Amino acid sequence: MSGRGLVVRRLVLLAASLVLMIAGTRDIRALRAYRETVVVSDAFTRQAPLSTYFDGIRGTLMDVPVYVFDSGVPGGSALILGGAHPYEPASPVMAYVVMENIAVKQGRVFVIARANMSASLQGMLGNAYPPFFRVKTPWGGKTYRIGDRETSPLEQWPDPFTFVHYPSKQNLAYQDSRNLNRTFPGRPDGSLTERTSFAITELIRREKIDLTIDVHEASMGYPVVSTYVCHQRAEEMCMMAAMMLSAEQFPMKTETSPKTLRGLTHREIGDFTDSFAVLMETPEPFIDKFVGPMTEALMLTGKDEFMQTAANRGLLYADYNMKTGSTLDYRVGRHLGGAAEIIKQMGEFYPAKKLVVSWPTYADVMTQGVGAFLHDPAKAARGRVFTN
């Protein structure tokens, strides 16, 4: 081959490589550029960046908005923490439904819908997840990101060989250095993920949050599914809430936070602040390892033949029927009902911390669907629409 022919061949290969790179990163670029909208309810008081509570995350993707709904009447306070693991989509959607519909008659509610914004802007590496899912509404459809479990390597790299949790010095898996729910209570001079945990902990301390509700989803092959996981100080409240939910709405268990597993909200927030710390898990087939293709339909409906086979063989820790699946409506409804019940129980056990709030119930969502409670940004009043 002549020298000119070799140059042409190399140029063609370079051009083909560039085309493949651009095409292959299309979803990645779209995911990082897309912003979700929320139309806050009339109870909205103010929005503040998380860096208000710790300047060490200012200017980063983790400087997420904190939404405040203050009745002006003295009472209890709660933080709803959504999106710590963005690939558990019912978590941020539940937070959005709360923000769009909440009414507060006594006390204050703080909401973070996307606690790990970095993780929400990348796909789940190596799992062929779709980047988005769409919720049907009376006015059309609303698009949300699915995201990853951990902070993106684009924001925090490299991982340590072993992650050493602060301050317990417990050794955890290397990827837990980017897992927001393994880095609490955080530290001001740590990694970006640790600094984010520290900022959330500082919010809880400074605002004197009485109850922190960390919203998650669990695979159905995981024992801690359909469960409140509670710090010891919140144990009696959780047991009563689980009993009431199981009797009146849907099956709910309760587990006490293990003292030997560090870094999780239900352990460290309970230990390092005065807040009652509670984590909620719903049954989410989409993140199980033995389901079929990871599609948007699976995420929305939870219907999968392989999951049914596992259920038939007694391998699951929650009831499952492929005919009904485990829909987004069901999972979001569970979280709305679970949060409302634990707030109610806090007021029963501690009258001085009474918090009187309302939002769509489990029955409302199961009857009408999540989309019925998401409002059209194009028709919303000025000052009510925000982006995440």
For 15-36, the pLDDT digits (tens) are: 878 877 776 677 778 888 999 9
pLDDT tens sequence across 201-212 = 999 999 999 999
pLDDT band at 11 (very low <50, low <70, confident <90, very high): confident
- Asked whether the predicted pLDDT for residue 84 surpasses 90, the reply is yes
Q: What mean pLDDT do residues 171-183 have?
A: 97
Domains of the chain: 32-387 (3.40.630.10)
Res 23: pLDDT: 67
- Asked whether the predicted pLDDT for residue 238 surpasses 80, the reply is yes
Res 24: pLDDT: 64
Phi, psi at 309, each rounded to 5°: -60, -45
Q: Are 114 and 388 in contact (CB under 8 A)?
A: yes
Collapsing DSSP states into helix, strand and coil, what is residue 241?
helix
Measured in whole angstroms, the distance separating CA 328 from the mean position of its chain's CA atoms is 13
Per the listing, tokens 């001085």 go with 352
Q: What mean pLDDT do residues 247-258 have?
A: 97
Q: Are 74 and 316 in contact (CB under 8 A)?
A: no
- Asked whether the predicted pLDDT for residue 356 surpasses 90, the reply is yes
Q: Which of 37-46, 123-132, 336-345, 366-375 has the lowest mean pLDDT?
A: 123-132
- How far is Cα 304 from Cα 364, in angstroms, rounded to an integer? 25
- How far is Cα 38 from Cα 92, in angstroms, rounded to an integer? 11
- How far is Cα 294 from Cα 348, in angstroms, rounded to an integer? 42
Share of residues in the chain with pLDDT > 90 (%): 87
Alpha helices in the chain (DSSP H): 3-24, 26-33, 90-101, 117-120, 192-206, 235-248, 265-272, 296-301, 305-312, 328-349, 362-368
Rounded to two decimals, the pTM is 0.94
Nearest Cα neighbor of 225 from 315, 297, 149 is 315
pLDDT tens sequence across 293-339 = 989 999 999 999 999 999 999 999 999 999 999 999 999 999 999 99
- How far is Cα 193 from Cα 317, in angstroms, rounded to an integer? 31
Q: Are 202 and 267 in contact (CB under 8 A)?
A: no
Average pLDDT of the chain to the nearest whole number: 95
Q: What mean pLDDT do residues 203-232 have?
A: 97
